[in-house]
């Protein structure tokens, strides 16, 4: 299933999010561009997000690999609602208590117990937008 996403769905999402028709999915999905920690290559990935003011929150499963290119206070580029913006990312990958708090902020109806359970298999990236 992941191979299908990477080869078919993700390229379509990238194309759509960069087009004038981005509004069809940009209220919930953005493109994040990060620089490879070893290769120096730039990688762009569509991800779901929530936004509160200048804070963008992304939750990903920890078995994905794209987020490993985000380090503390890492500069990232986002294609957010049709605009290219930058921000500083903070990664929460080991601190399950912090991840659980982020999950509860993002998913209002999530119980503390369920958030703690989910935190073991998730990472959270919080991005503070530049100039927002």
Domain ranges for the chain: 2-129
- Decide if pLDDT at 1 tops 90: no
pLDDT value for 85: 96
Report the topology of domain 2-129: Pnp Oxidase; Chain A (2.30.110)
Q: What percent of the chain has pLDDT over 90?
A: 58
**Residue 90: closest CA among 128, 43, 51:** 128
Q: How many CA atoms lie within 13 A of 29 on its CB side?
A: 18
Mean pLDDT of all residues belonging to the chain: 88
Q: Is 113 left (phi over 0), alpha (psi -120 to 50) or beta?
A: alpha
Tell me whether residue 96 is exposed, middle or buried, using C-beta atoms within 10 angstroms of its C-beta: 0 to 12, 13 to 18, 19 or more.
middle
> What is the β-pairing status of strands 42-48 and 74-80?
unpaired
14-18 long-range Cβ contacts below 8 angstroms, 24+ apart: 14/44, 14/46, 17/46, 17/79, 18/79
The SS3 assignment for 66 reads: helix
β-strand partners of 87: 76, 129
Inter-axis angle of helices 96-106 and 112-119, nearest 10: 120
pLDDT value for 73: 64
- In terms of pLDDT, which residue wins out, 71 or 76? 76
The predicted model gives 99-109 an average pLDDT of 88
pLDDT value for 59: 92
* pLDDT tens track for 19-70: 999 999 999 999 999 888 788 888 899 999 999 999 999 999 999 888 888 8
């Amino acid at each position: 299933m992941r191979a299908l996403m990477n080869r078919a769905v993700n390229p379509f999402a990238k194309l759509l999010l960069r087009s004038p028709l981005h509004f069809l999915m940009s209220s919930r999905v953005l493109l994040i561009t990060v620089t490879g920690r070893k290769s120096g290559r730039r990688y762009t990935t569509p991800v779901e997000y929530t936004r509160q003011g200048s804070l963008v929150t992304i939750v990903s499963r920890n078995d994905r690999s794209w987020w490993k290119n985000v380090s503390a206070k890492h500069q990232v580029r986002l294609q957010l609602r049709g605009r290219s913006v930058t921000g500083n990312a903070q990664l929460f990958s080991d601190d399950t208590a912090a991840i659980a708090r982020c999950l509860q902020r993002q998913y209002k109806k999530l119980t503390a117990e369920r958030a703690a359970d989910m935190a073991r298999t998730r990472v959270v990236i919080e991005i503070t937008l530049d100039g927002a």
